[in-house]
Structure 1
Amino acid sequence: MIAPVYGAMLRTSDGVRIDAGHLPGPMGNTGELGIVLAHGFTGSWRSPATRRIAAVLARYGGVLAIDFRGHGRSSGLSTVGDLEVLDLDAAVRHARTAYRRVVTVGFSMGAAVALRHAALYGGVDAVVAVSGPARWYYRGTRPMRQVHWAIEHPAGRLAARLAKRTRIAVGSWDPIPLAPYEAVPMIAPTPLLIVHGDADTFFPLEHPNQLFEAAQHPKELWIERGYGHAESAATPDLIRRIGRWTARTKME
């Protein structure tokens, strides 16, 4: 059963409107734990997969799920992980008005954004990065070569807009943003959980291993047997375990 969601519209520091949905969470959680949920590239908080994840996480805390810029009903253009840190920061600041503890949970591109946000902006009590890349420009798998085609070619950007309601900015990053593996050492002492599947067809295990090796304590790495990539492959059991981790983990 999909939990009821209350819509919200946030605004970033650079003026982009961010579409969001809020699930209040369990009755006993009032004002305690807020979970900010960040989707992957071409995703949306309104998609069935993300809604199912939000409904499971709402058993452990209130959930604020967003659409990154250029996605769904949010304004602006996607920068594929760069300026999206401003979108996540707007959501974290909004969650802080209602919850004492705020944890970010990001999938794929959203995982990279969550890591960079925690390093550059802080303001969170824990970070969960699921199926995230360690570095930019990775083309070692067929799905990632397809992603780069969608980002870099006019036909790909048109396909993303028509099929996925994702509007992608034209041009290269300038400057190149801090890579996730460069960001993770700056997150401590905020607790960090890295989750990755051994069946991920986008990013092989070298990515979570590189992130974990670069990170400082407190940190955890879960390699999930048979788990594929991001939201669509996440099982209810995995999301429940992530929910329990967010509920019990606190900064030292």
Structure 2
Amino acid sequence: MTEKYHRWHSPNLSADLEMLVFGDRGYPVILFPTTKGRYYQNKDFGLIESVRWFIDQGLVKIYCPDTIDDRSWYDKGISPADRARNYTWYDKMLIDELVPWAMHETGVGKVAMAGCSFGGYHAANFAFKHPEKVSNLFTMGGAFDIKMFTDGFYDDDIFYNNPVDFLPDDNAPDLWNMNIILGTSEYDICKEYNLQLSSILKQKNIKHWLDIRPFAKHDWPIWREMFPHYLSTIK
């Protein structure tokens, strides 16, 4: 399995970012880490190994970037407005830098977005904001309401980075063409967030699969079961 390390200076963030890329060809999948996780977390916890077959067969090429959780939603040392503003710059990094990079390398016109836990938020937020760039969305134990991190403050940057707020009135045609899977489990602490997002999608008649696994908790073992299954549905 090919593994490459990348470090680059992001002009949008005015900071260096790091990333691991697995595979040398195939459908581009951008896979985010969980809360404050680094670019190597999905490898360290076996999520990459769980989909080795897809990588070895050249079916997918997986990009595992850093996030800026500690400089955005989780940074209690700055104001909620600054947390949201910093995250808006992270979104610009994705749309201006990483997604075009992945598309160019693979020759594919759209990407898949995926992530576990808070990584599911990153994946869903980008997919629903930029559906013209995303063909597949796979979340595993995700939470999708960012207002828990904003101390009661609210502005446009929060609205447009909070899927449960902006999605109800979003009528971008590509939303109805996306392959969407919301993975959760019976004892998942984020199960209610998945039910809420599924309800919004149902109200909009957006086809999706709410996958509730029995007897499982919010943890890596069930995510390692989900991820290969979800990759097999890429269209």
Shorter-chain TM-score: which interval? Answer: 0.7 to 0.9
2:178 aligns with: 190
Gap change, CA 1:65 and 1:128, over 3 Å in 2: same
Q: Displacement of 1:212 after TM fit?
A: 0.8
1:23 aligns with: 22
Whole-angstrom distance in 2 between the partners of 1:115 and 1:37: 11
1:217 aligns with: 206
Give the paired residue count. Answer: 203
Unaligned 5+ runs, structure 1: 72-76, 139-147, 153-171
CA contact (8 A) 1:45 1:51 kept: no
TM-score normalized by structure 2? 0.72
Report the 3-state secondary structure (helix = DSSP H, G, I; strand = E; otherwise coil) of the residue aligned with 2:187.
coil
2:123 aligns with: 114
Deviations 1:214-249 (A, max 9, x none): 12423111011123225x343533222122123xxx
Report the 3-state secondary structure (helix = DSSP H, G, I; strand = E; otherwise coil) of the residue aligned with 1:227.
strand
Q: Displacement of 1:48 after TM fit?
A: 6.1
Q: Displacement of 1:208 after TM fit?
A: 0.8
Gap change, CA 1:42 and 1:70, over 3 Å in 2: closer
Could you say what the CA RMSD is over the residues aligned between the two structures, in angstroms? 2.9
CA contact (8 A) 1:39 1:109 kept: yes
Q: Percent identity, aligned pairs only?
A: 13
Report the 3-state secondary structure (helix = DSSP H, G, I; strand = E; otherwise coil) of the residue aligned with 2:188.
coil
1:96 aligns with: 103
Unaligned 5+ runs, structure 2: 55-59, 75-83
CA contact (8 A) 1:7 1:20 kept: yes
The one of 145, 148, 159 equivalent to 1:177 is: 159
2:192 aligns with: 206
Whole-angstrom distance in 2 between the partners of 1:70 and 1:208: 21
Report the 3-state secondary structure (helix = DSSP H, G, I; strand = E; otherwise coil) of the residue aligned with 2:29.
strand
CA contact (8 A) 2:128 2:163 kept: no
CA contact (8 A) 2:42 2:48 kept: no
Whole-angstrom distance in 1 between the partners of 2:92 and 2:31: 14
CA contact (8 A) 2:42 2:64 kept: no
CA contact (8 A) 1:198 1:224 kept: yes
Whole-angstrom distance in 2 between the partners of 1:173 and 1:5: 41
Q: Give the aligned residue type for 2:185.
A: G
2:140 aligns with: 130
Q: Displacement of 1:21 after TM fit?
A: 0.5
Q: Give the aligned residue type for 1:37.
A: L
1:166 aligns with: none
Report the 3-state secondary structure (helix = DSSP H, G, I; strand = E; otherwise coil) of the residue aligned with 2:177.
coil
Report the 3-state secondary structure (helix = DSSP H, G, I; strand = E; otherwise coil) of the residue aligned with 1:59.
helix
CA contact (8 A) 2:115 2:138 kept: yes
1:229 aligns with: 218
Whole-angstrom distance in 2 between the partners of 1:50 and 1:193: 24
Gap change, CA 1:39 and 1:48, over 3 Å in 2: closer
Q: Give the aligned residue type for 2:29.
A: I
The one of 34, 40, 64 equivalent to 1:46 is: 40
Question: Hey, which of these two has a bigger chunk of helix by percent?
Answer: 2
Report the 3-state secondary structure (helix = DSSP H, G, I; strand = E; otherwise coil) of the residue aligned with 1:234.
helix
1:66 paired with 2:45, answer no
Q: Displacement of 1:198 after TM fit?
A: 1.4
CA contact (8 A) 1:194 1:220 kept: yes
Whole-angstrom distance in 1 between the partners of 2:11 and 2:51: 25
Q: Give the aligned residue type for 1:95.
A: A
Report the 3-state secondary structure (helix = DSSP H, G, I; strand = E; otherwise coil) of the residue aligned with 2:122.
helix
1:163 aligns with: none
Q: Give the aligned residue type for 2:197.
A: L
Gap change, CA 1:116 and 1:189, over 3 Å in 2: same
Q: Displacement of 1:37 after TM fit?
A: 0.4
Question: Hey, which of these two has a bigger chunk of strand by percent?
Answer: 2
2:4 aligns with: 6
Deviations 1:62-103 (A, max 9, x none): 1111111256xxxxx233583343344332222111121521
Q: Displacement of 1:34 after TM fit?
A: 1.3
